Amino acid sequence: MTQGKNEWLQYRFDGPEHLPVLILGPSLGTTWHMWDRQIPALTAHWRVFRFDLPGHGGAPAHAADSVAELAARLLATLDALGVQRFGYAGCALGGAVGAELALRHPERIASLALIAASPRFGTADEFRQRGVIVRTNGLDPIARTAPERWFTPGFAAGQPAITEWAVQMVRTTDPGCYIAACEALATFDVRAELGSIEVPTLVLVGSEDQVTGPAQARTLVAGIPDARLAVVPGACHLAPVEAPTAVTDLLLRHFSTAWRLPPEATATGQFAIPAALAKPVLAPPPAIPVAEIAPSSPQPAAAADPDTRRAGLKVRREVLGDAHVDRTLAAADDFSGDFQDLLTRYAWGEIWSRPGLDRRTRSCVTLTALVAGGHLDELAAHTRAALRNGLTPQEIKEVLLQTAVYCGVPAANSAFKVAQEVIREETTPQE
């Protein structure tokens, strides 16, 4: 075993140095120890490389707010270690990193396994809401509910030591890095690109996974040309922990029989092929998707400057949330559609997108302006936006206190009532 740490991430190797490298990527809130039960069997065939996400398990707390950045840091570390080609298995966020690598750097991937993964994880609103909860309450609410998301009730009740280990893993994660990872999942969406993943892929999911379950797995299999599905009966989201024997067996069979070598290696023998095991019994890909993820709602056609409109719509969704924007645009008709288009292009595509102020500062300015103008109908939406842009309830309170001096006590009084209700809704953890 060899451990290391650099400015990018924390990692460890297990297994003989002469064997091909197999990378195991962790889920959000976990550490590399989620793979401990797989190591004895896998290291008989591969040199296993595990890593921790930023701020997880003592890894450097240098937040990364996109899957692309996480993948870039992993590749930079592998480059420094001289690892050029590898197999990759990742769980949830770790699976997103694997899909990103397969799409952007296919020459590096010999074989891929996506566990508890999805081409899009829930909605951006859900993950940004989770970031608001952590920013306001810390990680304890997320940690206390982790076992019910990760394990079946029977496993959680029967394995109290593992359940407590899961809680402590989340509790000891750096909050800022956790929030950044939520943002990475909020913006991850490769639904339109699945057909470009050419590497042999195993899509593995627990039958009881309520986070990224069999429906999402079948969507991956339907979109990836060379993919097979494996469903682990009775397992939930962290299948490698809850059903280690079944997951290990599936990984062994997949990587031993679907390890694609680069053309030059076939003649030179530069890369060893792991000893083949019995052919896995995996479900064939369905002829049509079993579960389609609905496309975004149709939007009014751009009147002009589609690039500005596209950028504006992206910022508008990131700040106000998909649900709010979808409702607003769905309500637009021939009379109001041009006005919504104006807002998207001008307010969001030009003003909110300018680099001169960060979004936190723009939220402070916007809240003040809304109080000054008495626009309480807009204040609720922008209080939610302020929380998602990184302002804490305490900071929002200071903004409103400032408005009491310069905009008047009655205006601030009304604003406090609106903001108080929004903050209570957005920052109360759901049990």
> Which of helix, strand or coil describes residue 390?
coil
**280-302: average pLDDT:** 38
Strand extents, DSSP E, 212-323 = 227-232
Tokens encoding 135: 């920013």
- Give the residue with greater pLDDT, 297 vs 269: 269
Q: What pLDDT digit, counting tens, does each position of 138-170 carry?
A: 999 999 999 999 999 999 999 999 999 999 999
**372-400: average pLDDT:** 93
pLDDT of 280 > 90? The answer is: no
Instruction: Tell me if the pTM is above 0.95.
Output: no
CB atoms within 10 A of CB 270: 11
> Domains plus CATH for the chain?
2-268 (3.40.50.1820), 306-427 (1.20.1290.10)
368-373 long-range contacts, CB within 8 A, separation 24+: 368/399, 368/402, 368/403, 368/406, 368/407, 370/415, 371/400, 371/403, 371/407, 371/411, 371/412, 371/415, 372/403, 372/406, 372/407, 372/411
pLDDT of 289 > 80? The answer is: no
For 111-132, letters b (16+ CB in 10 Å) and e give: bbbbbbbbbbbeebbebbbbbb
pLDDT recorded at residue 1: 77
Least confident of 98-102, 108-112, 225-229, 300-304: 300-304
pLDDT of 39 > 50? The answer is: yes
pLDDT recorded at residue 274: 52
pLDDT of 291 > 80? The answer is: no
pLDDT of 328 > 90? The answer is: yes
pLDDT recorded at residue 263: 62
Best CA proximity match to 218, nearest among 332, 142, 72, 114: 114
**In angstroms, what CA-CA distances link 364 with 48, 315, 390?**
48, 17, 11
- Give the residue with greater pLDDT, 269 vs 20: 20
For 388-421, letters b (16+ CB in 10 Å) and e give: bbebebeebeebbeebbeebeeebbeebbebbee
**52-71: average pLDDT:** 96
pLDDT of 311 > 80? The answer is: yes
Share of the chain above pLDDT 90, in %: 82
pLDDT of 300 > 80? The answer is: no
Share of the chain above pLDDT 70, in %: 90
pLDDT recorded at residue 293: 28
Strand extents, DSSP E, 37-132 = 47-52, 86-91, 109-115
pLDDT of 271 > 60? The answer is: no
Starting from the edge strand earliest in sequence, which strands make up the sheet with 86-91, in order? 2-5, 10-14, 47-52, 21-25, 86-91, 109-115, 201-206, 227-232
Q: H or E stretch including 205?
A: strand 201-206
Q: How many distinct helices (H) and strands (E) make up the chain?
A: 19, 8
Q: What pLDDT digit, counting tens, does each position of 217-253 carry?
A: 999 999 999 999 999 999 999 999 999 999 999 999 9
Helices (H), 294-392: 306-320, 322-331, 337-342, 359-373, 376-388
- Give the residue with greater pLDDT, 299 vs 275: 275
pLDDT of 354 > 60? The answer is: yes
**357-382: average pLDDT:** 94
pLDDT recorded at residue 292: 32
Least confident of 146-160, 256-270, 309-323, 347-361: 256-270
Give residue 411's pLDDT band: very low, low, confident or very high (50, 70, 90): very high
**201-208: average pLDDT:** 97
pLDDT recorded at residue 137: 95
Give residue 302's pLDDT band: very low, low, confident or very high (50, 70, 90): very low
Mean pLDDT of the chain: 90
**In which residue are the tokens 């680069």 written?**
262
